[in-house]
Structure 1
Amino acid sequence: MKRPAHVPEWTLLSLRPRGQHAALRRAAAPLGAQVLGLSPWALVAQRDDATRAALAQALGNDRVVFSSPAAVHAAARLVPLDAPHPGTWLAVGAGTAAALRAHGATDIQAPQRMDSEGLLDLPALAQLQGLRAALVTAPGGRGIIAQTLQDRGAKLQRVDVYRRQPLRLPPRQLQRLRRQPFPWVLALSSAEALGLLLEQLPEDLLARLHSQQVVAASPRLVALAQEAGIARVRLADGPMPAQLATAAHAAITTGAGC
């Protein structure tokens, strides 16, 4: 195998939810990165009977969209996902599709472009007049999926199977960030996570972040990072840990932005 280009010790900053940094660490380790988890939120699964009943009904709809792996795992805690389903099940990306298959679901459609726009380009979502659609997700987010499904004529049922609980970054984590070796690269796959981070960083760390690089999982997130004052932003091939780590390594190897 061709070895990656040598780079000095560097830091990959992860905004994954609390307890979910392991996959990015595994992807980044062969590339010489230290991964520092800066979780601005935790994921809390819904476990109430009302959500369980709503989900059981929604899974029988003509189209069922799962917005993330977290939505899949939370749904699987409420009802089994391995039974035959009458409609078409769709996943936002490969990670979400893999999570569904891990829980026994079959016949899953997912786009090559792993974002909301890629999902909505799938032929199964082109004509929805008179169809019942379900969105298995969490509160918040862009809302483009729900709005587009309705605009295309679907009768939409939204089931929020988990929620994002904002977290304060502990002072010891901020101190650790100050000690992390340069260069830094921020792995960005969520607009909300970036907003929560920027709200909490003190001025010295915010200035340092603005001088470093970001790898973003979608063109929308590239634009968002640039609007936040980060000039050097590179577009990754997608939101998977290996894609983000590879893009981050390329960013510091070439010293180029997007």
Structure 2
Amino acid sequence: MSPIAKPRLLITRFAVDALRLAKLLDEQGTFALAQPLLAVQKSAEFADAMHIFAKKYDYIIAVSRNAVDYADRALAGKSWPIAIYLAVGKRTAEKLCTVTEQKVIIPHGQFDSEGLLALPCLALPQGKRVLIVRGVGGRELLAERLTARGAIIEYYQPYQRVVINLSAKLVVEQWQQQRINGAIVGSLELLERLTELLPSEESLWLKKMTIYAPSKRITDHAIRLGWSNVEVLPGMSDKQIVDYFK
């Protein structure tokens, strides 16, 4: 990567993750400002864990680390059921392996729903019962494709994302004072929130930033929203991001 200007980054992840990554980037010489745009909290389905996990599933798929965290909290010390476990990404898989004490399968290289769907074990799931553990309102692609392949799908959604109320005027002033010229955005939802947050008169300044995202799906959407500078990150782990900006 050879950017015109040295990156000065906005980290839009959830609070703990944003602060940790910003510190790591700062330590290796890349300015980073933690600016969470969304928070997570229990959903109305949180209390349904015992009922959901009492059922028999062939496959249990965790879409995010938050999904694993909240599901494990909801189980309150009860064991996760025996099943074939899958996770979308490495960090989610590590957490899932810890709480279930079982092997977890992950995609090969492409850490998203498409990568998961390419796994041989999900090629012919005819008649298999699949539980997808995720946040409220996640992507439907995984369920739609597996249903088309004959799987029987259920969801458990123990958490939800909520908007953090921010003063657009104050955050814009802070970002401009810090000469922010790029934003790390891990989801379409965060990209939409970033777009909605700033007043229209600041949109031209905002769209001059470079959007760094873990998938072409997100960068393509950024282009549709008016950004011209986009880069696809090799992944969203702290190490992958820190190494990318070295």
TM-score class, shorter: 0.7 to 0.9
Query: Residues 46-97 of structure 1: CA distance to partner in whole angstroms, max 9, x if unpaired?
Result: 4867422243235x41010000001011111011688474321000010100
2:126 aligned with 1:136, yes or no?
no
Note the residue ranges of structure 2 that are not aligned, 5 or more in a row. none
Q: What is the TM-score of this pair, normalised by structure 1?
A: 0.84
Q: How big is the shift at 1:33?
A: 2.4
Q: Distance in 2 between matches of 1:48 and 1:214?
A: 33
Cα pair distance change 1:104/1:128, threshold 3 Å: closer
Q: How big is the shift at 1:240?
A: 1.6
- Out of 49, 59, 63, the position equivalent to 1:63 is 59
Q: What is the TM-score of this pair, normalised by structure 2?
A: 0.88
Q: Identity, % of aligned pairs? A: 26
Figure out how many residues of one structure are paired with residues of the other and give that number. 243
Q: Distance in 1 between matches of 2:80 and 2:194?
A: 41
* Cα contact 1:150–1:156 (8 A) shared by 2: yes
What residue is the counterpart of 1:225 in the other structure? 222
3-state DSSP of counterpart to 1:211: coil
Q: Distance in 2 between matches of 1:185 and 1:246?
A: 16
Q: Distance in 2 between matches of 1:103 and 1:80?
A: 11
Q: How big is the shift at 1:169?
A: 2.0
2:147 aligned with 1:150, yes or no?
yes
- Out of 170, 173, 176, the position equivalent to 1:175 is 173
3-state DSSP of counterpart to 1:208: helix
* Cα contact 1:81–1:104 (8 A) shared by 2: no
What residue is the counterpart of 1:256 in the other structure? none
* Cα contact 1:24–1:242 (8 A) shared by 2: no
- Out of 34, 37, 40, the position equivalent to 2:34 is 37
Q: CA RMSD in A?
A: 2.6
